Amino acid sequence: MRLSHLRHLALLSVPLLVLLAALWLVFPSEEAVAGFFRDHREAHPGLTRAFTLITDWCNPVFYGLFGWILVRAWRSGDRETLRFVCILLAVQAVVAGLAVHFIKHTVGRPRPGQGAWFDPITTRGAFHSLPSGHTTEFMGWATPFALRLGRTGLTVLLGLAAALVGLSRIYLGWHHPSDVFFGWLLGSFGGLATMVLADSSLLRKKA
């Protein structure tokens, strides 16, 4: 893992982590956070629609982006980029797919407003709050993309987007701040795993 990768991961993560820290500092509990945003949604339907748009399209944008990169690499014979995207897709399937759903079903944390008691080993969607799958998936896409390109401005923009995605999940009442934090943690791990596996694959090829 390169030092520049860690610097870009920090830039990517800071906006979201600052947002979560502010929520934990300002509100006495996560239930209070949920209550505040519930009242705010009722008073501001336009903002609710805007956050719904963000939460609905944050990850499909990456589907189109990496689909385009994959097709372009295939047509140009760019095997290194093909390998990178295939590794990314595999890691996302494991981390943002299998791992997230396994944790959700196993832990059974209630979503905001659904009560205080956990319901482990459940298929009920109202008890699939932990972790935030949207945040996990977004970080899983954004982290390797930012680290691979290494452009500070782009990394900062993606970091602000990650904060908006996390806030949208909290604002809309789908997740607690701690759910978003664990989504960030899982997604960042997936993104770093992608970079490590891609770098290892490239080094083996050169050897």
Annotate 56-77 with DSSP letters as a single string: HHTTHHHHHHHHHHHHHHHHHT
C-alpha to C-alpha distance for 144 and 64, rounded to whole angstroms: 16
CA 142 to chain centre: 8
* CA–CA distances in Å: residue 58 to residues 50, 140, 141, 162, 163: 12, 12, 10, 9, 11
> Which CATH architecture describes the domain 3-206?
Up-down Bundle (1.20)
C-alpha to C-alpha distance for 22 and 36, rounded to whole angstroms: 14
> What local confidence, expressed as pLDDT, does residue 200 receive?
80
Q: Tell me which residues of the chain have a pLDDT lower than 50.
A: 207
C-alpha to C-alpha distance for 102 and 165, rounded to whole angstroms: 22
pTM to 2 decimal places: 0.95
> What local confidence, expressed as pLDDT, does residue 2 receive?
78
> What local confidence, expressed as pLDDT, does residue 192 receive?
96
| pLDDT tens digits along 169-192 | 999 999 999 999 999 999 999 999
Q: Which residues of 49-62 are buried (b: 16+ CB within 10 A; e: fewer)?
A: eebeebbeebbeeb
